[in-house]
Structure 1
Amino acid sequence: MSEKKPEEHRISAIPPFGLRMLPDLRRRVEEAAAENGRSLNAEIVNRLERSFLGNKLLAAAGGSEKERPPIENMYEVVKILYEVMDKAKELEDRGEYSPENMRKAVAEMPSLRHSLDKKP
């Protein structure tokens, strides 16, 4: 039997929010939504949630938005960042998110260990 969602989490209880965006941005978000099998709304919400998780990750690492590591391979950095954010979302969904748990999870990620082993 499925668990009932709290009233504030039901779709019917969430008031609509109008959003203006440039046509090119809308097209890119629609393409991403289709690729990810999500509605336009779900894609926007997912991307917003990830942006907030990014801030949590910076705080957990003891950094700030102003501190940026040197970037040599942007694709690799973005790929790893998405993996880390997925792990943070997974921990948060299970109610297990904490800076300590996040540090442990990140330390166990093979792609991150491989990248950290590389010397500049």
Structure 2
Amino acid sequence: MEDKTKQSTPYPLRMSEDLRSKLEDEANKIGRSLHAEIITRLEKSFDKNENTPEEKIHEFFKIIDDLIAKNLKLSELLDAKIQDVEKVNKKQGRV
């Protein structure tokens, strides 16, 4: 396991003023330093459990497609049952 208390060699990071401003704003909102915000965001980029927005959208549409397919199957089963009941009713003169 890594020793997180060990200091690493500083790494100068160049970024645009606009990006720095955005990062500082986000860090200030939750009470983090700019350094902590950058480190947190970089660590999250390696998190295998965190899906990108595109992956989340793809997963959402897959769920919707599955639900539509299940709904169609249920609809077909219901139609078949209705036809069966109508046939029985017709035979028994209830129609």
TM-score, length basis structure 2: 0.50
Which one has a bigger Cα radius of gyration?
2
Work out which structure has the larger RCO, using CA pairs closer than 8 Å and 6 or more positions apart in sequence.
1
